[in-house]
A = this chain, B = another copy of it.
């Protein structure tokens, strides 16, 4: 159906999944990698860097912003995008939770 049963999961589970979902596309990973190595960060430069149209890049930026992974501040005619680290602890905590020693007890 392409639809997801969001009603029955915890808010925490939904939040984590939505962040990972936003990270689940190579274009968005590439955008974040690009932003990470830049001191300046104008959308136009991303368009020049990636093999996508300006419209597609813009859509990916909207998704990253909606997920809280980037911030955008208007700077004249252009927009300065940069990484928002707010949700990183959530990701790290989730990964750590999966690393509890109880997992070692099976599938060895």
- Is A48 in the interface zone, CB < 8 Å from B? no
- Is A77 in the interface zone, CB < 8 Å from B? no
* A contact set with B: CB distance below 8 Å: 4-6, 8-9, 13-14, 16-18, 20-30, 32-33, 35-41, 50-52, 71-73, 80-83, 85, 88, 91-92, 94-95, 97-100, 102-103, 105-107
CA distance A7 to B95 in the complex (A): 29
What are the 6 closest A-B residue pairs judged by CB atoms, nearest first? A21-B24, A20-B23, A82-B107, A24-B24, A8-B51, A17-B26
CA distance A38 to B92 in the complex (A): 20
Known: A24-B23, A25-B17, A26-B6. A80 touches B98 (CB 8 A): no
User: Is B103's CB under 8 angstroms from A95's CB?
Assistant: no
Starting from the known contacts A9-B29, A29-B94, 18 additional A-B residue pairs (CB-CB under 8 Å) come to A5-B26, A5-B51, A9-B27, A13-B33, A14-B26, A17-B24, A17-B26, A21-B25, A33-B98, A37-B100, A39-B102, A39-B105, A41-B107, A71-B107, A81-B107, A83-B98, A92-B92, A92-B95
